[in-house]
Structure 1
Amino acid sequence: MSRAVAKKKDERNVIKLVRKSNELVEARYKFDIWETRVFTKMLTMVRKSDKDFQTYRIYLKDVIREYGLENNKDAYERLRAGGFKLMRKIVKVIRNTEEGLMELNTPIVVGVENLVNNEPEDAKFIDVSFHPKMKPFLLSLQSHFTIYDVRNILSLPSSYSIRIYELLKQYQTIGRRKFLLKELKEIIGVIEEIDVNGKKKYKDNYPLYGNFKQRVLKKAQRDLKKNTDIFFTFEEIKRGRAVNALIFHIHANTPWLEGLKESTTEPLDELTAKIYQQVKHWVSLDVVKSWVDTYPEAQIKNGVAYTLRQLKAGTDIPNVGGYLQTMVKQENLIDPKDEKRKRALARKQQEQAEEQKKVELDASLKMLYITIQEKETEVIDNILSAHPDAREEAIGLVTTSRFAHYDTSLSLEENMKNPLVLASFRNAIKKLYPSQFEAIDEAYAPRVQALKAELARL
């Protein structure tokens, strides 16, 4: 059965969530921007509760409105072609199984249909179906998945920028992500697999790092800063003279988020969005909003569920919208026992969410401490290189400190294997050259304090 998308007053201000398994986020594939837009539209049509894939009817006018493509005269044909080209695309997913690391190569789409008669542009659509092999990565996701508001990518002009956004969004709570350069290129499709005379070859579209940096990394940096809820900075890790790896530092894009709040005059909360999806064929969004403002959540859900059960049972209801209004108003449809169970479940879910938040904050704090230690180590190495006497001065402080546990019967090298001695040595260097560490304190101390404060509130 096809699933049509209801027309919205302003599609770009409607919250629609994309939910992918982390394995799919990290999969190897390359789409052009039009294929990406069709694929993303399909993702927003998959419901969290779906047990199987549907045939998804995509009205091309909806995609054009969402992405702001009204002035692109070729948009209809490019989107239609993008849907058909998806049938030829293969996704490579690396996943852990009981038998070991497994590589799955699967098509994304198993079928695309459209009418061949000359229908008006605003009625054009394509019917698309996911390949069954995609089920583990899109349906019934309970853990290890990435979720984001599709509005973040509507204005991204490059498929590379979209892939980088997803990879960094996956690690936003940690705040940092490291990739080998070759690995990143393979994931986002800069390095792609091609067939040459029946033999598998690999083509690097940006073999020179300078070109990759300017046309992919720097462009993604500008795109995300301008259009999404996160932005990033990055460090280059070199092996010899060549860049071998990249460390991305991920930050919340507060100005963009504030702008989104201003432009989204009436953002849909989760309850409103869920109820509206169930009843949109019979009542307007404004009616659903009035229910949420007026009646308890359980009362609304019971009234809607009761009506839907009647329809499923074949009851003849001439005016479904009016019937819904009447049922939602009925207080006696509430099951007190069910309400009590739901409150208990909500409390449990909140406790679990807080516990998960603690785990994520702890991980972020540990990662931050590791980063600080790495930065301090770089500064200490520079000090020891620039000041030949620094090592002896620091050792002098360590040997006279009663907290360092320095054992005079052992050599310096043996003492340095003791974590307490090593920590005292680092502190001695910091005490002797405090100004060298001010920049690190200024950069990281506020973040440490903020994470500790957030942990204390939980």
Structure 2
Amino acid sequence: MSGKNSLFDGVTGSILEEPTSDLFSVSEYENFEEDDMYDEKSEVEFRNSQHLIVYKDNALIFGRYGNLNAVELKLVNALIAKVNPYSDSIGMMSFTRKELVDMGVATIQWLYKSIDAITYKLQQQVIRLPKKNPKTGAVDNILSYDKVNLFYKSSWDDDTGEAQFMFHPDIQPYLINLRSHFTKYHLHQLHGLSSYYSIRLYELFRSFLSLRSVQAGNFKLTRNVQYATLRDLLDVGNKFKRFNQFQELVLDLAVKELQKTDINVTYSLPDRRKANSRVAVKTIRFEIEARFGYRLDSDDMEVDMAILKNDTYRQLLQFLASKNASALLDTYGVERCLSNLELLQSQNKKSVPIKNASAWLVKAIENDYANSSSNGPALEELLGLYKEEDRHKRNFIEEQLLHTWNDLDSTVQKEFLTNRFDSGVVAMKYVEYLMRVVSGNKPEPVKPKLSKDAMKENKAAVQDALTNITDTNW
């Protein structure tokens, strides 16, 4: 694709593959991973919103939702999160006000006031979905579209306090039997977003930097998006005609709110190379990065253990299914999981990228790489022995660092795991090592220290030899 129908004009990223011809399908691979929050039933009950995942065909991600507000869009996504994407059909879906409050859709007061108006409006809502390639299923023309009703039927029962919705048959193919060209995200990521545009931008950015991509070790990418196309995707219409209005009320607000989610976003304006430039904006360059390996700021809130555990759990969900994240937290505790999430983030920024981040993180938590004092394969992987491409650095790790690691102060260890050879005590030792190698006076490899058990065995063997009077060879 090229020309006026092209959404993007470039992508960069140190460990991201170049985009395929399908500019809208960078979200997932052909087959999505198996998630653990579904029962093998025709309908899925509401569950803890931590476990609910939204699955959408990319045509829905790039669709136009008309005049929905943030609460209405959250309600639609909450209903979509109830859909089992493995099923062949979708039945009637119901919810109570309390369930919507628990899922972060709106306050109970707002729902008591507006539930009837919401059901009426959503019943009438028509959305525009871009055409898909009939052979590949990819969205390849954003100027051609189908108009589809969201819901076929809706009702409100005041006696039971339940609202019911049935998705329109024309929309159901975009929600079930998904095998490729779709995006998924955790519903709770929308809780802190108050703007319709923030929600829509989160979905777009998550389709660019998919959860599958993060799990594979790709934590950051750059996207150039055409300003005119972005306005169209967000249904801005005649609002915010001046760019500074759009910048303040859409972009800046979204960037601030997205700091509450599992991604961080910054942007720049390539057309305006000078600070005071008034050149017309044609392109917006977004930097999107997975957000994990951080600690809650105790200055902003009272961080009790329940809050800290919940936040750590959400960080783990970028890499693991909910049952596996819960199992690691229950087995090893919050501090160990959080320390190794921090280590994964520092390894990504300072070291060779980790290709299978999910598997690495599980091993890191199980072996506690962040606070490792062990030897053997776990320590070799922790120190990046086999990922280090520089021959001298690899030799330094193998011959020197491995055998002195446990003698180093914990602050020095963490300094190296964060900065590698860029700075710190170990980096300085490496410089000394390299200078001696270059001068032809290479240091002798450090002899591995015996473990306490091995030392006891050796001492016992010597004692036996000394007390064995039949042995005359000593």
TM-score (norm 1): 0.50
Counterpart of 1:251 (choices 289, 293, 301) is 289
Residue 20 of structure 1 is matched in structure 2 by 56
Q: Distance in 1 between matches of 2:156 and 2:207?
A: 35
Match of 1:234, SS state, is strand
Pair 98,4 (structure 1): closer, same or farther in 2 beyond 3 Å: closer
Residue 84 of structure 1 deviates from its aligned partner by: 2.3
Whether 2:242 is the aligned partner of 1:208: answer yes
The residue correspondences of 1:157-236 to structure 2 (distance < 5 A) are: 157-172=194-209, 173=218, 175-191=221-237, 204-225=238-259, 227-236=260-269
Q: Distance in 1 between matches of 2:126 and 2:235?
A: 12
Pair 139,156 (structure 1): closer, same or farther in 2 beyond 3 Å: same
Match of 1:161, SS state, is helix
Pair 65,90 (structure 1): closer, same or farther in 2 beyond 3 Å: same
Residue 155 of structure 2 is matched in structure 1 by 113
Pair 5,81 (structure 1): closer, same or farther in 2 beyond 3 Å: farther
Answer whether contact 2:268 2:285 (CA < 8 A) is retained.
yes
Match of 2:287, SS state, is strand
Residue 5 of structure 1 deviates from its aligned partner by: 3.6
Unaligned runs of 5+ residues in structure 2 are 1-40, 210-217, 273-277, 298-306, 332-354, 359-418, 423-474
Answer whether contact 1:5 1:59 (CA < 8 A) is retained.
no
Residue 21 of structure 2 is matched in structure 1 by none
Match of 1:242, SS state, is coil
Q: Distance in 2 between matches of 1:231 and 1:220?
A: 10
Residue 218 of structure 1 deviates from its aligned partner by: 0.3
The alignment-based identity, stated in percent, is: 21
Q: Distance in 1 between matches of 2:248 and 2:118?
A: 27
Whether 2:110 is the aligned partner of 1:74: answer yes
Answer whether contact 1:164 1:220 (CA < 8 A) is retained.
yes
Q: Deviations over 1:17-64 (max 9, x none)?
A: 001111210112232122112201111110122101211012221001
Match of 1:51, SS state, is coil
Q: Comparing both chains, which one has the higher relative contact order based on Cα–Cα distances under 8 Å and sequence gaps of 6 or more?
A: 2
Answer whether contact 2:153 2:167 (CA < 8 A) is retained.
yes
Q: Distance in 2 between matches of 1:153 and 1:190?
A: 20
The residue correspondences of 1:81-96 to structure 2 (distance < 5 A) are: 81-96=117-132
Residue 304 of structure 1 is matched in structure 2 by none
Structure number with the higher helix fraction is: 1
Q: Distance in 2 between matches of 1:2 and 1:60?
A: 23
Pair 183,266 (structure 1): closer, same or farther in 2 beyond 3 Å: closer
Counterpart of 2:182 (choices 145, 156, 161) is 145
Pair 95,258 (structure 1): closer, same or farther in 2 beyond 3 Å: farther
Q: Distance in 1 between matches of 2:257 and 2:322?
A: 32
Pair 52,213 (structure 1): closer, same or farther in 2 beyond 3 Å: same
Answer whether contact 1:28 1:188 (CA < 8 A) is retained.
yes
Match of 2:76, SS state, is helix
Q: Deviations over 1:289-335 (max 9, x none)?
A: 9xx99xxxxxxxxxxxxxxxxxxxxxxxxxxxxxxxxxxxxxxxxxx
The residue correspondences of 1:34-45 to structure 2 (distance < 5 A) are: 34-45=71-82
Answer whether contact 1:38 1:83 (CA < 8 A) is retained.
no
Q: Distance in 2 between matches of 1:2 and 1:33?
A: 29
Aligned structure 1 segments of 4 or more residues deviating by more than 4 angstroms: 1-4, 98-102, 255-261, 264-273, 354-357
Unaligned runs of 5+ residues in structure 1 are 192-203, 274-285, 294-353, 358-445, 450-458
Pair 68,131 (structure 1): closer, same or farther in 2 beyond 3 Å: closer
Residue 3 of structure 1 deviates from its aligned partner by: 4.9
Residue 430 of structure 1 is matched in structure 2 by none
Q: Distance in 2 between matches of 1:265 and 1:241?
A: 44
Q: Distance in 1 between matches of 2:313 and 2:203?
A: 26
